[in-house]
Amino acid sequence: MSGKPAARQGDMTQVGGPIVQGSAGVLIGAPTGVACSVCPTGEASPKYGNPVNPLLGAKVLPGETDIALPGPLPFVLSRAYSSYRTKTPAPVGLCGPGWKLPSDLWLQLRGDGLILNDNGGRSVHFEPLAPGEIQYSRSESFWLARGGAASQHNSHPLSVMWGMLPEAVRLCPHIYLATNSPQGPWWVLGWAERVPGADEALPAPLPPYRVLTGVVDGYGRRLTYHRDGAYGGAVTAVTDSTGRRYRLVLTTQAQRAAQAASASSSSLSPAPSSFPSFSSPPSPRSPSSWSETLPVTACGEDSGIRLSAVWLVEDPACPDALPPQPLVRYGYTARGELEAVYDRSGAEVRRFEYDAGQPGRMTAHRYAGRPASRYRYDDAGRVTEQVNPEGLGYAFAYEKNKITVTDSLGRREVLHTEGEGGLKRVVMKEQADGSVIRSGYDGSGRLEWRTDAAGRKTTY
């Protein structure tokens, strides 16, 4: 690790962060029980509401699982959201601005270093790697490696895991790998094969980035992301370790605009949602609100390609009993924002609303049959208020090294912080009952000691 602090979205989960409930695989595509970086968990990063990360002022949603069929190394499709914007964003993912999928792992290859963007929004900086070299990030607790070596020295904690990789992966200096445990799995970072144009040199040059192409666990089992087709290297299919194959149906902005125009003239157009509107963009059912291109935003480069449905197309265990409907479907606004999620029966299970002036900034969300939670932001993009009609509401006030959180019952907590960016930590928390909790951290942002309300000190 170069020693540079990481700039990330939900940055505090390294200290006391439990596994995100409700998701079998939360970080970079594997069901390994890794804490999600968008989730404000533990005393170092307290959470409020449904939820809000007050240190970043970000509205976040942990991994919401849409697909998780059983298997030794299954394909788990989960979505994570954060309203925070890193200074070095990866391109917008298949679920639109703010959202990340397990496959949204992106490694930027720059002349002065490497930047790993994970599916939780972190931008982790590394120095350039030589073929076969491995670097460890102390603050993030994971390794980044480069192929080009048949084996690693026996003293290296990853030597056994390195041997589990296919030989073609181990020996290729153009492939990068990441893992957070000596027991695995490896996340394999490669590139989508591209047919060169008639006027291009052969073979086609490699791109200045790497994307997630597969996962290999400690037993050599593989999960493969297929990125073929005419969608700019986006994931079009996934094959899990049991041999199941999933087809990801992708659409472009132009295709969705044409579908909206067609639906508006059809008597089968779905009825307008009863979801309350506040600062919402124009309805996607109005063809005049759609354009064939998307505007440039601070969310990163946006191709306009979105995931519309996932089908199970092969299952060795049940080859003649494949489901006749997609396992999950997604709907989008005219600006390419994720608007609704539908389960395999076609029922709407989630709905979202966004700020009319800030694409991708979530202003409301609800589950089926539940009231909507609403959010307001200040000019800096920080959440200032959460309103829940059937639960506690929260107000957030931001000062230099101080954040005040007040709930709808008048109870107040004050968070005193030190550090900036990815190393920002809560060093003192004044609770509503008047008690105080203090904490200390090392140079990598890891918890060293904590003093509870009774004055008892615990060191780590």
Q: Does the bond joining 5 to the residue before it have cis omega, within 30 degrees of 0?
A: no
Q: Which of 120-134, 176-190, 255-269 has the lowest mean pLDDT?
A: 255-269
The tens digit of pLDDT for each residue in 346-363 reads 999 999 999 998 999 999
CA distances from 76 to 209, 236, 322 (A): 24, 15, 18
The β-bridge partners of 209 are 108
The β-bridge partners of 107 are 116, 210
Q: Residue 195 corresponds to which amino acid?
A: V
420's CB contacts (< 8 A; 6+ apart) are: 5
Q: CA 216, CA 240: separation in Å to the nearest integer? A: 11
Q: CA 51, CA 175: separation in Å to the nearest integer? A: 37
42 lies in some domain: yes
Count the domains in the chain: 1
pLDDT at 230: 80
> Which own/partner pairs from 323-330 qualify as long-range (CB within 8 Å, at least 24 positions apart)?
326/249, 327/66, 327/67, 327/246, 328/66, 328/67, 328/77, 330/95, 330/306
CA distances from 170 to 134, 158, 165, 292 (A): 12, 13, 6, 42
Q: CA 92, CA 209: separation in Å to the nearest integer? A: 15
208 lies in some domain: no
DSSP-derived secondary structure letter, 287: G
The proportion of the chain whose per-residue pLDDT surpasses 70, expressed as a percent, equals 81
Q: Which of 25-29, 76-80, 183-187 has the lowest mean pLDDT?
A: 25-29
User: Of 269 and 230, which is predicted with more confidence?
Assistant: 230
34 lies in some domain: yes
Kindly report the CA angle at 274 between 272 and 277, in degrees rounded to 5? Answer: 95
pLDDT at 87: 80
Widest pairwise Cα distance in the chain: 73
pLDDT at 202: 65
pLDDT at 446: 85
Question: Does 38 score more than 90 pLDDT?
Answer: no
The tens digit of pLDDT for each residue in 44-72 reads 566 787 799 999 899 999 889 999 999 99
Query: What's the rounded mean pLDDT across residues 369-383?
Result: 95
Query: What's the rounded mean pLDDT across residues 263-282?
Result: 47
The pTM is what? 0.81
User: Under DSSP, is residue 244 helix (H, G, I), strand (E, B) or coil?
Assistant: coil
Question: Does 276 score more than 50 pLDDT?
Answer: no
User: What count of other Cβ atoms lies within 10 Å of the Cβ of residue 199?
Assistant: 5
User: What count of other Cβ atoms lies within 10 Å of the Cβ of residue 358?
Assistant: 18
410 lies in some domain: yes
Burial (CB count within 10 angstroms: exposed 0-12, middle 13-18, buried 19+), residue 266: exposed
In the block, tokens 């609403």 appear at 374
CA distances from 126 to 56, 133, 252 (A): 23, 12, 34
The four Cα atoms 330, 336, 339, 340 give a dihedral, to 10 degrees, of: 0
pLDDT at 102: 87
Question: Does 12 score more than 70 pLDDT?
Answer: no
CB 45 within 8 Å of CB 52: no
412 lies in some domain: yes
Query: What's the rounded mean pLDDT across residues 380-387?
Result: 95
160 lies in some domain: no
Question: Does 240 score more than 80 pLDDT?
Answer: yes
Q: CA 76, CA 66: separation in Å to the nearest integer? A: 8
Mean pLDDT (the chain, rounded): 83
In terms of Cα–Cα distance, which of 377, 372, 363 is closest to 276? 372
In the block, tokens 């615990």 appear at 458
Q: Residue 248 corresponds to which amino acid?
A: L
What phi and psi, each to the nearest 5 degrees, are found at residue 14? -70, -20
pLDDT interval class at 287 (50, 70, 90) = low
379 lies in some domain: no
User: What count of other Cβ atoms lies within 10 Å of the Cβ of residue 141?
Assistant: 14
| Residue ranges making up the domain that contains 49 | 26-56+392-459
446 lies in some domain: yes
How much is the CA Rg of the chain, to the nearest whole Å? 23
User: Under DSSP, is residue 288 helix (H, G, I), strand (E, B) or coil?
Assistant: helix
